[in-house]
Amino acid sequence: MDLSEMSQEDQAGQGALRYQLGFANEFATEALPGALPQGQNSPLKPPYGLVSELVSGTAFAAPRSLNRRSYVFRIRPSTISQPFEQLDSGNFLTPPLPIEPSPTALRWGPANIPDSHADFLDGVLTICGNGSPNSQAGLAIHLYRANASMRARAFANADGEMLIVPQQGAIHVVTEMGRLDVTPGELLLIPKGMKIRVELPGASSRGFVCENFGLPFVLPELGVIGSHGLANAIDFHAPMAAFEDDDSPVQLVHKFAGKLWTTELDHSPFDVVAWRGNWTPAKYDMRRFAAMGAAIVDHPDPSIYCALTSPSSDVAGGNADFMILPPRWLVAENTFRPPGYHRNSVAEILALIQGSNESRAGPFPPGSLSLHNHWTAHGPDVKTFEAARNAVLQPQKIDETLIVMWESRYPLEIAPAAMEVSFRQKAPAQGWAGFKKRFPGSE
């Protein structure tokens, strides 16, 4: 069936949302019948008096399989008549960050929701990052904490693609391409430069944001795994076209070259009535991740949990790799079951979305975040180690636990405010103290 014939949400976005399926597919959708021109992208007079606009998310001559672009048909062009003025960035920082990379393990507990008014943009707190958007390499990891919807306000990030992972409280996200409802357990991928407005269906929401300055996220190649597994393309949901025809003033906050800029629009920027292409936001239910694992002995490398990758080097590692550790079975024989002690040539940021994480030393409730830079040894605390080595080995189901992890080949710098917040755990390494030496025992 032609996508234009599928049931559409009305322009007010009422009712349960419908989605198109696939990752980076060639989509086509219209909120009004006949709004999408057929056979060309720039007709002399588009239907309904709309304006044709090409949005290029990659270079014009990028390989076809990696090219990201969409034609949008909107009520007004995106050109802006008012100059931008620089805005105080608050705790929303961009690498390079003031505190140099450290080999010390760092950890944060669940972030508190602010007492004062804070929408999604107000509540961003940068934790760490590397690279620079000006060099188009690296990433930044932020927390977001919101207790209010964005009102008469839109945000566009020209520095990086954003991967948003709610941990507590759903979000309703209005984008130029349509609307998406995102709940804890799902992720949302927003392309670089796309305008969004984040609304709260409930009282508050908190979660994590990865800002990717490098190549756009793609699904990793599967190699010997075969034709399917890990994050399957069919499980990603892209929005249907939905639009606002509203002439009320809107503040546009634009992130560019590491700074926040602001200008005022005399209309809603979410006025795209129809669009076609593959430059689009998408959401994904992380519980659908098709995990691979050991069938006989030993742990595979954590790369088997890679759901999305921003490629960089086949040898040194990715610019940003995003891993999902969902509920799954552990069945290996004669094998230490928790992830073992490890030193890594890439930096690692791990966040607990729900459940528990037995490999983190000490308390690590949902909403917690840990950082281990390159070559910082990590693994189970002593209590977990002792329990695991004496456990009765039988098939074990890890239930109701969802963990996400980012890895990057570049060392991670730290934001000063992240070191000062009350929910940073001051001595996470204490959980590794008291290891019992058994050498030269024969256990």
CA-nearest of 185, 327, 239, 188 to 18 is 239
- Domain-embedded: residue 78: yes
**Distance (Å, rounded) from C-alpha 367 to C-alpha 331?**
28
327 plus 391 within the same structural domain: yes
Bigger pLDDT: 176 vs 12: 176
Give the domain CATH number at 414: 2.60.120.10
Out of 239, 263, 283, pick the residue that ends a domain. 283
The band of 338, judged by pLDDT with boundaries at 50, 70 and 90, is: confident
316 located within any domain: yes
The structure's pTM equals 0.94
Do you find a cis peptide bond into 440, omega within 30 degrees of 0? yes
What's the confidence (pLDDT) of residue 442?
60
Does residue 277 share a domain with residue 329? no
The verdict on 249 and 135 lying in the same domain is yes
- My answer on whether 145 and 263 are in the same domain is yes
Does 265 map to a domain? Answer: yes
Q: Is residue 432 part of a domain?
A: no
- DSSP character for 365? -
Residues sharing a CB contact under 8 Å with residue 309, sequence separation 6 or more, in sequence order: 217, 218, 219, 220, 318, 320, 321, 322
299 as an active site residue: the answer is yes
Domain range spanning residue 340? 287-426
pLDDT category at 300 given cuts 50, 70, 90 is: confident
Q: Which of 237, 260, 283 is the last residue of a domain?
A: 283
110-125 average pLDDT score: 96
Q: Does residue 142 form part of some domain?
A: yes
Per-residue confidence band for 336, with pLDDT thresholds at 50, 70 and 90: confident
Same-domain status, 184 and 75: yes
Please indicate, yes or no, if residue 105 is contained in any of the structural domains. no
Is the domain of 227 the same as that of 82?
A: yes
pLDDT band at 7 (very low <50, low <70, confident <90, very high): very low
The answer to whether 349 touches 405, Cβ cutoff 8 Å, is yes
* Range name among 119-123, 165-169, 314-318, 336-340 with the lowest pLDDT average: 336-340
The answer to whether residues 298 and 260 belong to one domain is: no
pLDDT of residue 9: 40
Are 142 and 13 members of one domain?
yes
Q: What is the per-residue pLDDT for 330?
A: 87
Catalytic pick from 142, 237, 299, 342? 299
- 52 and 29 in a common domain: yes
CA distance 238 to 176: 12
Residue 361 has pLDDT above 80, yes or no: no
What residue has token string 């204490």? Answer: 430
Q: Is residue 443 part of a domain?
A: no
Residue that terminates a domain, selected from 226, 250, 283? 283
Mean pLDDT of 209-231: 96
299 and 262 in a common domain: no
Rounded distance between C-alpha atoms, residue 290 and residue 220, angstroms: 13
Shared-domain flag, residues 245 and 297? no
Domain total of the chain:
2
Residues 252 and 334 in one domain: no
Domain assignment present for residue 436? The answer is: no
